[in-house]
Amino acid sequence: MDDRTGTTLHTGLLISTTAALAWLTGLPMLFPSLGPSAFVLALFQDSEAASPRRVIGGHAIGAAAGLLAYHLLGGGVSMTTATDPGSIAGLRLAASGVLATTLTAGGMLATDTRHPPACATTLIVSLGLLSRPLEGALIVCTVVVLVIAHRLLLATERVGARYGSELRS
């Protein structure tokens, strides 16, 4: 199979896993930063960029930084409702996003868990979209599910490549 087709299908299957769980449980297990994470996993497969340590660690730092920034600066405000131009509420939310992104970038660099999609996770949390501590934990658990699905998919592909020709004979 063509690499482009394989990467495309791999990305779709990974997101299908969390989408199905979100649908079956009613929990927010499908959020914007999972798409880029699924693509990174599919595109780079076994490289350092797709290592569980980087992917899970980056999102964990992003969720923690987002929770800290939101509860320190933005608590009670959310991007789901518009704030008045120049308002204190809007300033608090903007400051929360800036602080969270800065903490996430610094945290990922300090721990060698660089995973750019985690900067989207930190904004999701710090802007009040998934800003409760349980939602932060759910974000990390969902990323773990995504990584596990990726590893299982890779194992299945390898078994298929290894034994596929024998099965066709």
Owner of token pair 């934990």:
137
pLDDT for residue 35: 96
Whether the Cβ atoms of residue 108 and residue 121 lie closer than 8 Å to each other: no
Q: Bigger pLDDT: 77 or 169?
A: 77
The stretch 62-71 carries a mean pLDDT of 98
Rounded-to-integer distance, Cα 155 and Cα 47, Å = 15
Q: In terms of pTM, does the model score above 0.75?
A: yes
**In the chain, where are the structural domains located?**
3-158
Q: What phi and psi, each to the nearest 5 degrees, are found at residue 33?
A: -75, -10
Beta-carbon contacts of 111 under 8 Å, excluding residues fewer than 6 positions away, are: 57, 61
Mean pLDDT of the chain: 92
- The pLDDT of residue 83 is 86
* Overall average pLDDT of the 79-96 stretch: 92
